[in-house]
Amino acid sequence: MSLYLKYRPQDFKSVVGQDHAVATIQNALRHGSLTHAYLFSGPRGTGKTSLARIIAKALNCLNFGDEAEPCNECEICDGINKGRLVDLIEIDAASNRGIDEIRELREKIVFSPSQARTKVYIIDEVHMLTKEAFNALLKTLEEPPEHAYFILATTEAHKIPETIISRCQQFNFKRIGVGDIVKRLQDIALEENVKADEEALNLMAKIANGGLRDAIGLFEQMTMNGEIKYDKVAENLGLSGTVLIEKFFQYLLQRQPTKAIEVINQINAQGHSLQQFTSEVIAFLREQMLINIGNSQEVQTIIGFIDIFSNAKLQITQALIPQLPLEIAVIRACQFDINPEQEKPTVGIPLSGASEEKKKKETVGTRDLASEEKNKKEEKTKITNATGEKVELDLEKIKENWQRIIDHIDTPFIRMSFMDGEPVKFEEGSLHLAFTSSTLMDKIAKASNQAVVQKAFESIFGMRINLKLEVKKVTLTPAKKKEEKNDEPSVIEMAKEVFGMSNE
Ligand SMILES: [Zn+2]
């Protein structure tokens, strides 16, 4: 049995992070005034179906008393816990049987419960029902028999018809806070005899993004020989050195000094040596230089970076604030080759940090024009979805739903890797994703992982989408046009931006 199932809350007091819903429902149970239809909406893994099952127990428990908790001992509670009480009917609306099951529900609902006092219907992923099925369900919700209760659960409340919502009492389940998740994981660690460092639990809680189920899943996957170690977790989640260096490099190329400095902070916070990091950055830059021979623009930029970081490395040992030389190097690298007065991007090669002022400028041609032209064309593809409707999908629509797609990726590892990708093009049913990190891209490229991602797309758009993965090209972003006539933003200006100092 998975840890998540083992530690699934069995009574109201064990439900984490949904105090409002729990208090209201317990109160209604005490007064015998429970609503016949509930809609539980909210992110995945926040306890919607767990709470629904606790309600089913509370409604039927043979020992239900003043505490308003199911006893978990009587035959009814036991039957529900073991998944074999016939009067609790769980329907997965996402399965193909959805419509048949709703039809069956309509036919059988009039019959009295066979064992328990009430019949409880839990319909999970209810937004996946077809229009037909919703209509059938609505008729039932309009006049439910006295013995029937409905709990509908969904991650996508906006897809539920207003007519259905108006028949239900709705509770919006919140993402569970990092502190609450860590506390729960600590309890489980104690119970399971797992030695887990708090830093690792914290990281997993953050990655789980408010979903306790994901956090417990991670906990399970990360346990090795009765231990959970931060380094192992970081490595598995794609937060290891290699990935960070790849990202660091991309941020420099994209002139995002703030983000590049965040990487340095992360390295520093993890207690790694900045000097070692700088050596690894230089080794990585060398690799990139060798790969890019023949691309004069790229190679010159990379040589410039190598020069800047080599200087920084020499200064780290003597610096009062160890990360300062690196931060200055980041700002210099991001400022490198900016010349807004010319249309075409230019590249300069500073020979050392000090001679940067006098750097010679060299104009180079704009690259990859043809493919940029192609990208401008609005790509729309008509695809037939599961229910036979023609759906028009384009890059904009995919981008609008990006966060939802991420939320729908079931496995935290895969979600983490996927988040590194950026949708760049949609063409003939294929979505092109550009990754900062080739390590993370390779994870998504694995067929089994890709299937998980595709499932997420399918649940949002109701159709299958092919993925084309690529590593972001070494692209020199043209400098932002500055209002001032000034040639280039100075190091000081960039520093102000990075360190949050204003001009006023
Ligand atoms: Zn009971």
Q: What CATH number has the domain bearing residue 21? A: 3.40.50.300
Q: Would you say residue 35 lies in a domain?
A: yes
Q: If you measure from the C-alpha of residue 135 to the centroid of ligand 1, how many angstroms do you get, rounded to a whole number? A: 35
224 phi, psi to nearest 5 deg? -135, 125
Which residue has tokens 């069956």?
A: 104
Q: If you measure from the C-alpha of residue 49 to the centroid of ligand 1, how many angstroms do you get, rounded to a whole number? A: 18
Which residue has tokens 């400095």?
A: 261
For residue 400, what pLDDT is reported? 87
CA distance 286 to 303: 8
Residues 385 and 418 grouped into a single domain: yes
Residues 281 and 351 grouped into a single domain: yes
Q: Would you say residue 201 lies in a domain?
A: yes
Residues 411 and 442 grouped into a single domain: yes
Distances (CA, A) of 126 to 38, 49, 150, 152, 452: 12, 12, 11, 6, 20
- Tokens for 393? 């999908």
For residue 420, what pLDDT is reported? 85
Residues 79 and 146 grouped into a single domain: yes
CA distance 73 to 61: 9
Interstrand relation of 361-363 and 346-348 (parallel, antiparallel or unpaired)? antiparallel
Domain holding 409: CATH number? 3.30.300.180
Residues 403 and 352 grouped into a single domain: no
- Whether the CB-CB separation of 230 and 197 falls below 8 Å is answered with yes
Q: If you measure from the C-alpha of residue 90 to the centroid of ligand 1, how many angstroms do you get, rounded to a whole number? A: 19
Q: Would you say residue 402 lies in a domain?
A: yes
For residue 228, what pLDDT is reported? 94
Q: If you measure from the C-alpha of residue 79 to the centroid of ligand 1, how many angstroms do you get, rounded to a whole number? A: 9
- Whether the CB-CB separation of 171 and 40 falls below 8 Å is answered with yes
Residues 317 and 427 grouped into a single domain: no
Q: If you measure from the C-alpha of residue 87 to the centroid of ligand 1, how many angstroms do you get, rounded to a whole number? A: 14
Q: If you measure from the C-alpha of residue 121 to the centroid of ligand 1, how many angstroms do you get, rounded to a whole number? A: 18
Name the domain count of the chain: 4
Q: If you measure from the C-alpha of residue 9 to the centroid of ligand 1, how many angstroms do you get, rounded to a whole number? A: 15
Q: If you measure from the C-alpha of residue 56 to the centroid of ligand 1, how many angstroms do you get, rounded to a whole number? A: 10
Q: Would you say residue 118 lies in a domain?
A: yes
Instruction: Please state whether the predicted TM-score (pTM) of the whole model is above 0.75.
Output: no
Can you tell me the mean pLDDT for 10-18? 94
Most trustworthy range by pLDDT among 44-58, 215-229, 246-260, 413-427: 44-58
Q: What is the per-residue DSSP string for 250-275?
A: HHHHTT-HHHHHHHHHHHHHTT--HH
Give the domain range for residue 403.
369-471
Q: If you measure from the C-alpha of residue 59 to the centroid of ligand 1, how many angstroms do you get, rounded to a whole number? A: 9
Q: If you measure from the C-alpha of residue 117 to the centroid of ligand 1, how many angstroms do you get, rounded to a whole number? A: 12
Residues 156 and 226 grouped into a single domain: no
For residue 357, what pLDDT is reported? 36
Can you tell me the mean pLDDT for 234-241? 74
Q: Would you say residue 485 lies in a domain?
A: no
Residues 286 and 385 grouped into a single domain: no
Can you tell me the mean pLDDT for 171-183? 93
- Tokens for 210? 């408010």
Q: If you measure from the C-alpha of residue 226 to the centroid of ligand 1, how many angstroms do you get, rounded to a whole number? A: 35
Q: If you measure from the C-alpha of residue 31 to the centroid of ligand 1, how many angstroms do you get, rounded to a whole number? A: 18
Q: If you measure from the C-alpha of residue 81 to the centroid of ligand 1, how many angstroms do you get, rounded to a whole number? A: 10
Residues 146 and 227 grouped into a single domain: no
Confidence of residue 360 (pLDDT cuts 50, 70, 90): very low
Residues 192 and 273 grouped into a single domain: no
Last residue of a domain, one of 155, 172, 189: 172
- Alpha helix ranges (H) inside 8-125: 19-30, 48-60, 75-81, 98-108
Render pLDDT for 85-137 as a digit per residue (tens, 0 to 9).
999 999 988 876 667 888 888 888 889 999 999 999 999 999 989 888 899 99
Q: If you measure from the C-alpha of residue 63 to the centroid of ligand 1, how many angstroms do you get, rounded to a whole number? A: 5
Answer left, alpha or beta for residue 395, where phi above 0 means left and psi between -120 and 50 means alpha: alpha
Render pLDDT for 425-444 as a digit per residue (tens, 0 to 9).
998 889 999 988 888 888 89
Last residue of a domain, one of 172, 188, 203: 172
For residue 490, what pLDDT is reported? 55
Q: If you measure from the C-alpha of residue 17 to the centroid of ligand 1, how many angstroms do you get, rounded to a whole number? A: 24
Q: If you measure from the C-alpha of residue 146 to the centroid of ligand 1, how many angstroms do you get, rounded to a whole number? A: 21
CA distance 42 to 162: 17
Q: If you measure from the C-alpha of residue 213 to the centroid of ligand 1, how many angstroms do you get, rounded to a whole number? A: 25
Q: Which helix (H) or strand (E) holds 370?
A: helix 369-376
Q: If you measure from the C-alpha of residue 76 to the centroid of ligand 1, how many angstroms do you get, rounded to a whole number? A: 6
Residues 226 and 352 grouped into a single domain: no
For residue 182, what pLDDT is reported? 95
Can you tell me the mean pLDDT for 170-177? 93
For residue 351, what pLDDT is reported? 31
For residue 86, what pLDDT is reported? 94
Residues 350 and 447 grouped into a single domain: no
Q: If you measure from the C-alpha of residue 65 to the centroid of ligand 1, how many angstroms do you get, rounded to a whole number? A: 10
Q: If you measure from the C-alpha of residue 77 to the centroid of ligand 1, how many angstroms do you get, rounded to a whole number? A: 4
- Residue 370's CB is within 10 A of a number of other CB atoms, namely 8
Using the predicted structure, report yes or no on whether residue 80 has a pLDDT greater than 90.
yes
Share of the chain above pLDDT 70, in %: 81
Helix/strand/coil percent split, the chain, to 5: 50, 15, 35
Last residue of a domain, one of 236, 265, 283: 236
Confidence of residue 170 (pLDDT cuts 50, 70, 90): very high
CA distance 230 to 222: 10
Confidence of residue 504 (pLDDT cuts 50, 70, 90): very low
Q: Would you say residue 376 lies in a domain?
A: yes
Render pLDDT for 250-300 as a digit per residue (tens, 0 to 9).
889 888 999 999 989 888 876 778 888 899 899 999 988 888 888 788 888
Chain-wide mean pLDDT for the chain?
Answer: 82
Using the predicted structure, report yes or no on whether residue 30 has a pLDDT greater than 80.
yes
Q: If you measure from the C-alpha of residue 292 to the centroid of ligand 1, how many angstroms do you get, rounded to a whole number? A: 69
Can you tell me the mean pLDDT for 153-179? 93
CA distance 151 to 121: 6
Q: If you measure from the C-alpha of residue 97 to the centroid of ligand 1, how many angstroms do you get, rounded to a whole number? A: 31
Q: If you measure from the C-alpha of residue 78 to the centroid of ligand 1, how many angstroms do you get, rounded to a whole number? A: 7
Which residue has tokens 């309509």?
A: 106
How far from each other are the two terminal CA atoms of the chain, in whole angstroms? 61
Q: Would you say residue 103 lies in a domain?
A: yes
Q: If you measure from the C-alpha of residue 8 to the centroid of ligand 1, how many angstroms do you get, rounded to a whole number? A: 17
For residue 378, what pLDDT is reported? 42
Q: Would you say residue 106 lies in a domain?
A: yes
CA distance 385 to 458: 9
Lowest mean pLDDT among 155-169, 226-240, 416-430: 226-240
